[in-house]
Amino acid sequence: MTPNGSPAPDTAIPSTATLAQTRALQLLDRLIDQQLETREISSETLATLRPLTSLLDLLARPQDQSTELGRQLAESLSQLAFSASETAHQVKDLRAEIRSMTAVLDGLTKAVTQLQDGQKKLAAKLGRLDQKLDQLTRDLFEDPPASDNS
């Protein structure tokens, strides 16, 4: 409270900014977690696909197809390659989601910055208004100077 009874300039406003900042930080943490997960999945997918591709090439040769075991192994490896391909598609989708979340986070960051700028301007204006009110209060309620009538 100020001396004239009006609320202090920034009593209720920071809670809104704090909430927005907290939300922005939560989104940023989530984005970082997803990026780390994407990197991990991408490296695992690549590590899985390289040997599978080599094995599939070897098993596709006529001499390796003569045995049932070779055929079953080729089929299993093909299924693994398909799973790895699906994982790669999921990584692609995850990256698109991360880009989308990054855009949302950028928007939130901009909104928080604008909110903070607005709060600073409002606080400055409230401070000036408080000074003017204090001056008006002094002007209205001060005793007039005593005149010398002696």
Predicted pLDDT at 82: 83
* pLDDT tens per residue, range 39-85: 776 677 666 666 766 666 666 665 544 566 666 777 777 888 888 88
Closest by CA to 3, choosing from 136, 135, 134, is 134
Asked whether residue 149 is domain-assigned, the answer is no
Number of domains in the chain: 1
Residue 114 has pLDDT above 80, yes or no: yes
pLDDT band at 12 (very low <50, low <70, confident <90, very high): very low
More confident residue, 103 or 42: 103
**Residue % of the chain over a pLDDT of 70:** 59
Which token pair is 124? 């400055």
CA distance 124 to 61: 80
CA distance 124 to 129: 9
Residue 120 has pLDDT above 90, yes or no: yes
Predicted pLDDT at 17: 61
**Which amino acid appears at position 102 of this protein?**
T
Q: Provide the CB-side half-sphere exposure for 123 (13 A, CA).
A: 12
Asked whether residue 125 is domain-assigned, the answer is no
Q: Which domain holds residue 68?
A: 22-102
The CA–CA distances, whole Å, from 26 to 13, 31, 105 equal 21, 9, 10
Asked whether residue 82 is domain-assigned, the answer is yes
Predicted pLDDT at 129: 95
Asked whether residue 57 is domain-assigned, the answer is yes
Asked whether residue 28 is domain-assigned, the answer is yes
Angle between helices 13-59 and 68-141 (to 10 degrees): 170
pLDDT band at 125 (very low <50, low <70, confident <90, very high): very high
Asked whether residue 14 is domain-assigned, the answer is no
Backbone torsion region of residue 146, taken as left when φ is above 0, otherwise alpha when ψ lies between -120 and 50, otherwise beta? beta
